[in-house]
Amino acid sequence: MSCYKILEFKELGDERGNLVAIEGAQDIPFEIKRVFYMYGTDDTMIRGQHANRRSQFVLINVSGSSKVRIDDGRGHTEIVNLDKPRIGIYLPPMIWKEMYDFSSDSTLLCLSDTHYDATEYIRDYNEYIKELNG
C-alpha cells in the first residue's frame, strides 16, 4: 500500500537520555503549520474516523502505543502499530484514518501542513468514497 510512508527519525542521546529532533521539510515531507496531540484516550475509543481533503499528517506515538488503520478508499486497508517515539507515519491528503487501541500512557503527536479548517474534513465514510471516485 503506497498511500502512506513509515518515517524513522534519528535518535540522539547519551548518558542523560534520548532525544528525537524533527524538522519540517527535512525529516518530514512538509513545513509544519499545526501540532496537536492526543492523550488520556481510553483504549476502547476510536479517534480520527475521517479523511482530509488538503492536509498531510505525520503521526508519532511519543509515549506508549496506538494503532492506525489506514484506508485508501480503493479496497486497501492496513494497520500500523505506533509504539516507538522515533517512528512516525506519513499520511497524504484523502486517506481515511482511524486511531485506536491506545495504551494507558499513550501520547499521539500529530504534525500537519495546514491550519485547522473544519470544511476540509470528510467525516462520513460513504461521502469520502463518493468524493474520492468523483
Q: Which three cell numbers stand for residue 21?
A: 529532533
DSSP 119: G
- Helix (H) or strand (E) holding 126, with range, is helix 125-132
Gyration radius from the chain CA atoms: 15
Calculate the alpha carbon distances from 54 to 46, 94, 120 in Å. Answer: 22, 7, 7
Active-site hit among 7, 30, 49, 50: 50
Rounded distance between C-alpha atoms, residue 33 and residue 112, angstroms:
6
Is 115 a residue of the active site?
no
Write the burial class of residue 31 (CB in 10 Å: 0-12 exposed, 13-18 middle, 19+ buried). exposed
Active site residue ranges: 50
